[in-house]
Amino acid sequence: MSQFAFAGITGKLSGIITSKDTGERLIGANVIIDGTTLGAATDENGNYFILQIPPGTYTVRVTMIGYQTLILNAVRIKVDLTTALDGALSESAVSMDEVVVQAERPMIQTDVTYSQANISSEEVEMLPVEEFEDVLALQAGVVMTGGEIHVRGGRGGEISYMIDGITVTDPYNSGMAVEIENNAIQELQFISGTFNAEYGQAMSGIVNIITKDGDYSKFSGSVSTSTGDYHSADNELFPQLDIQHSAISDKKGNLEGPIVPGKVSFFISGREKINNGYLYGQRIFHPNSFIWSESENIFKIDSTVGLGNGFVPDDGDDLKPIIDSLRAADAFDWVPMNWYEQTTYQAKVSFRLTSGIKMSYNRMYSDTRSQDYSHAYRWNPDGRGHSFNTRTGDLFRMDVSLSQSTFANV
C-alpha cells in the first residue's frame, strides 16, 4: 500500500506571553516544548506559535532574561487543532525558583467547526475495551451492529479510515485494510460530520489513528495475557463446554526505545488472540464420505465405499463395516466449529534527521483464520470451509519544517 498523506497527524500551539507585573507583551521570550526539538520565540506583539507537534501531553517551558522561568504542565496537543496557551512571567532581579503552572483544558474548542472527538492514549488505556472499534462505539452518534460501525445512521462502508494521515480503507469491503492494536495508538481522531476539504471518500465519518513513536532516550515495554473458557450445564445443547484454560487466550505486548539515542527510535507491538468458540461438532464422517448427486441436487453418502460390487444385504449387522468405513480415522473426536484466531504485529521506526526533518516507516501485519458454525456439518466438521485473511501495510511519511510558519508532508 503506497499513498500520499493528506490528513493531519499533528497539532499547533499558540498564545501570548506577557509580563505578570505590568501586563506588557514580551518580545523575544523563548517557548520550548520539553522532550522535543520544537520551540519558538515571541514576536514584537508577544505572540508565538509552534507547528508540527505530535499529539500528546507535554510540558512547556517559557524563559526570558530578567524573568522567572515559567513551566506549564499537562499541555494537551490534539490532531488538527490549535491549543491556546498564554503565559505571564514575573520579573526577577536575582536567581529565583521556577514557577510551575498546571494547564487547564478549555471547555470549548474555538477552532472546531465540526463534530470531533480526540481520544488520547491515556484515555484508551483507561477504558475497559480491547479493540479501537469499541472506543468508537462509545462516541455520540455511533452504533455497532453485526461487527460494523454505523455513524449518524449511515452504513458500515461509509467511513474513511486513516493511519498516520494515510488512507487505509479497504476498497473491497470498505472496512479497515490493516489491523492496529490499542497499545500502539497515540491518539484516535474521530470526525462525524462536515469534514474539512482535506478529507474525502467518506459519507458518515472519518477515523484517523496516530501511532506511537518510540522513546528516543529510554527503553520500556509491557506484556499481558488473559485466558478463559465458555461453560454450560446443558451438555446436550452445548457439548464439550468443559473448562479448558487455553480455549480463550489473549496475549499482547509492546517494546520501545532508542536505536540511536535522540535520533532514531523504534516501537513494536504484537498480539495473539485465540477463541475456540462454544459450538462443537463431532467427527463421525470425513468430507470425502459424501458425493454430489447432480440428478437429485443433494449430497449423498458414497454407497460404493467398502462394498466391492455395491450390493447391500438387508441384514443390519452387515451394514456396520460399511458405516465404519465412512468414519474418519479420528472418529468421535469433538472439535470447535465457530473458532477464531488472529495474529497481529506492528513495527515503526522514526528518524529525527534534523530539528526540522522527521521520517517514519510503519509496517503492519495481520493474519486471521476462522470458521463459522453450520448445523448441517455438525457430524462432518472438517467439511465446513474455513476463512483465511492475511493483510499487510507499509506506510512511509516525511515531515519537513521549512520555516517556523511553513512545512511540507510527504
Q: Residue 309's pLDDT is what?
A: 41
> Which secondary structure element, helix H or strand E, spans residue 188, and what is its range?
strand 185-191
Specify whether the CB–CB gap between 207 and 394 falls below 8 A: no
Q: Which of 33, 68, 102 is the last residue of a domain?
A: 102
33 and 155 share one domain: no
Q: Residue 140's pLDDT is what?
A: 85
Instruction: Identify which of 377, 275, 371, 375 has the alpha carbon closest to the alpha carbon of residue 328.
Output: 377
The rounded distance, in Å, linking the Cα atoms of 144 and 142 is 7
Q: Mean pLDDT per 10-residue run, the chain (410 residues)? A: 58 93 92 90 93 91 91 90 91 66 65 78 90 88 84 84 88 85 92 75 85 94 91 81 80 95 95 92 74 61 44 52 56 86 95 88 95 88 89 89 74
97 and 137 share one domain: no
Q: Residue 299's pLDDT is what?
A: 55
Q: Residue 314's pLDDT is what?
A: 52
What are the distances in angstroms from CA 42 to CA 10, 111, 188? 21, 21, 31
126 and 201 share one domain: yes
The residue count of the chain comes to: 410
Structural domain range at position 298: 287-326
Instruction: Identify which of 12, 17, 18, 19 has the alpha carbon closest to the alpha carbon of residue 33.
Output: 12
315 and 389 share one domain: no
**For residue 167, what is its C-alpha cell?**
488512507
**Is 378 part of a structural domain of the chain?**
yes
**Is 74 part of a structural domain of the chain?**
yes
358 and 228 share one domain: yes
226 and 370 share one domain: yes
47 and 167 share one domain: no
**What are 126-132's contacts with CB under 8 Å, separation 24+?**
129/182, 130/182, 130/250, 131/182, 132/180, 132/182, 132/185, 132/188, 132/209
> Going by C-beta distance under 8 Å and a sequence separation of 6 or more, which residues neighbour residue 176?
161, 168, 169, 170, 207
Q: Residue 188's pLDDT is what?
A: 92
Q: Residue 293's pLDDT is what?
A: 61
52 and 171 share one domain: no
What is the total count of domains within the chain? 4
Pairing, β 387-403 against β 406-409: antiparallel
250 and 380 share one domain: yes
Q: Residue 99's pLDDT is what?
A: 67
**For residue 358, what is its C-alpha cell?**
522527521
The SS3 assignment for 125 reads helix
59 and 179 share one domain: no
Q: Which of 102, 134, 154 is the last residue of a domain?
A: 102
Instruction: Identify which of 66, 189, 173 has the alpha carbon closest to the alpha carbon of residue 119.
Output: 189
Q: Which of 326, 354, 388 is the last residue of a domain?
A: 326
185 and 139 share one domain: yes
Q: Residue 401's pLDDT is what?
A: 80
| pTM for this prediction | 0.75
The CATH number given to whatever domain includes residue 79 is 2.60.40.1120
